[in-house]
Amino acid sequence: MSIDTYGPDGMIALEGGKKARKNLTSGRLRLMILFLVLAFGAIGARLVMLGISAGGERAGQTVAAVAAEARPPIVDRNGRDLAMDILVPSMYASPRQIIDLDEAVEKLSAELPDLDREWLRDKLDGNEGFVWIKREMSPAAQERIFNLGIPGINFRTESKRFYPGRNIAAHVLGSVNVDNQGIAGIENYMDSDAFAMTRLAGEVPEGEAVRLSIDLRVQYALQAELADALERYQAIAAAGVILDVATGEVLALASLPDFDPNDPKSALQEGRFNRITAGTFELGSTFKTVTMAGALDSGAVSITDEFDAREPIRFGRFTIDDYRGKRRVLSLPEVYKFSSNIGTIKVMQQMGKDNFRAFLTRIGFDDELPIELPETKRSSIPHVFSEVGAATASFGHGLSITPLHMATAMAAFVNDGIMVPPTMFVRSREQARELGKRVISSATSMQIRYLMRLNALEGSGRRMNRIADGYLVGGKTGTADKVVDGRYDPSKGFTAFASAFPMNDPRYAMVIIVDEPKRENEQSGTTAGWNAGEITGRVVEKIAPVLGIVPDFSEITEASLVPAELRNSVSGE
């Protein structure tokens, strides 16, 4: 029997039944939502576990089996690109997903013949979730391998360091490894705690390009002339550095043979080290500038003094003579411009060997190079000089220093006597003044500038001066026999030229070295004036206009460099 209930409008709704059905539907929806949440939660948890597992496997590979962090770009002082990151594909494998090992090895070996087949098979034959196969590939190679459709072979994008200038400033920039970590040069320094501190101090802002003191225009000119020197003089190596004397900024630094930072392993080839900071050499008579600066500053000698250079000097069984002796009494300027070993020894002896040794310490020759490049070496100087040791050291023999040490000293000698530590980063004059220390007096600095210019006009720097005429370069040559198996070998020479310009208002110091130069032609020689000196002249000729230095041929300017004590002296003319 059925019961029908009617209301005023006909059918009467059964309110209780509707509510029951509504509650039932809502409950089912809540149950379904709960089920979906639990299901997706389980899937998410599994993905996290897989991610952690893959991360653990990656950590078991190299330091960075994940994409390496990007490095900030490096630019020169004018904002020109020196190093940057680019994105490149790298190939990895999930061996547990490899279906046909032999097929995978065969196909990959055909596309990448540089991979060792046994190594590749060993990499793919496992249960790992992640192994690197080929880092930093070309996009074309990636496309070819992708089209092979090999299960378990995948790609990821990584940052790769790129150096647009290739070998330009290679020893300054250094290089990075496959994980984009610095392994040499500024790249290595950028990963150091010292660099991190500069960023914390706001000196190199986070996220901005790292700006070096290098001037790419000057760097190109220096490197081109050194490359020419290797061919012109058939030398085994050549190197040079140019400093701003007031700030200590390195405008250019090159050492040849060099390498391409885009191919870091090329730096491992023989002879490709930074001779400016990581090489120590006997720089020969360039050291006479150091001796003169120390002796004049001590007050033990005067620029008007004279020294008897008629006879060689004997120390027991050792006899020291001049290369081309004048066999007469020489004024101090003549000792310098004629590069007299005898006269230089007597200048040093007036000062005293212990005071001479202390002066080398004062100008930083015993210290580590205060430069941001990690490739540095200490100079090699005896702690205590014997009489003969001090004598040979006075003209640059029996001790070895880095060319950058010499360049820093030369900069101080012409910079009113203020020594500023060298740097690879841009530095203001205000910052330099805070770091600078006086090593000789202003008066001594004036006298050294005169001597250096005199040598360019009348001494061993004449060939250099003819090339760089008008730019008022001053400097000193140095020629030494190399030490081979503990003995000096006269058949293997080493030459140097230490200079500064313009001498009426010094702005830049430079040191050029040439290892085992040969005669350019039958009429030329092998001493420093013929090679290191001429290289210096050609470099100045190219870079002076770029640096805003106008040639000056005024006799008044030249006369202003002569100390007052010598202006009426025949020996100073």
Would strands 210-211 and 74-75 be described as parallel, antiparallel, or unpaired? parallel
How many other C-beta atoms can be found within 10 angstroms of the C-beta atom of residue 162? 15
Q: Could you write out the DSSP letters of every residue in 8-70? A: TTEEPP-HHHHHHHHHHHHHHHHHHHHHHHHHHHHHHHHHHHHHHHHHHHHHTSSTTSSPPPP
Enter the tokens of residue 540.
């100045």
Gyration radius from the chain CA atoms: 36
Number of Cβ within 10 Å of residue 88's Cβ equals 16
Is 192 a catalytic site residue?
Answer: no
Residue type, 279: G
Could you give the count of Cα atoms lying within 13 Å of 50 in the half-sphere of its Cβ? 9
Say how many C-beta atoms besides its own lie within 10 A of residue 110's C-beta.
Answer: 10
Burial class for 435, CB neighbours closer than 10 Å (0-12, 13-18, 19+) = middle
Cα–Cα distance list, 383 to 53, 122, 352, 402, 408 (Å)? 59, 57, 15, 17, 21
What distance in Å separates the CA atoms of residue 91 and residue 160, rounded to the nearest whole number?
14
Cβ neighbours of 240 (radius 10 Å): 29
Among 90, 94, 213, 285, the one annotated catalytic: 285
Strands (E), 131-265: 131-134, 153-162, 175-176, 182-184, 210-211, 237-244, 250-256
Half-sphere exposure of 328 (CA within 13 A, CB side): 5
Between the alpha carbon of residue 11 and those of residues 5, 15, 16, 22, 385, the distances in Å are 7, 12, 15, 20, 125
List, in order, residues 6 or more apart from 126 with CB less than 8 Å away. 95, 96
Q: Cα separation of 448 and 438, whole Å?
A: 15
Tokens representing 556? Answer: 């008044």
Q: What is the 3-state secondary structure (H, E, C) of 95-134?
A: HHHCCCHHHHHHHHHHHCCCCCHHHHHHHHCCCCCCEEEE
Q: CA separation (Å) from 43 to 36, 46, 47, 251, 476? A: 10, 5, 6, 59, 77
The residues annotated as belonging to the active site are 285
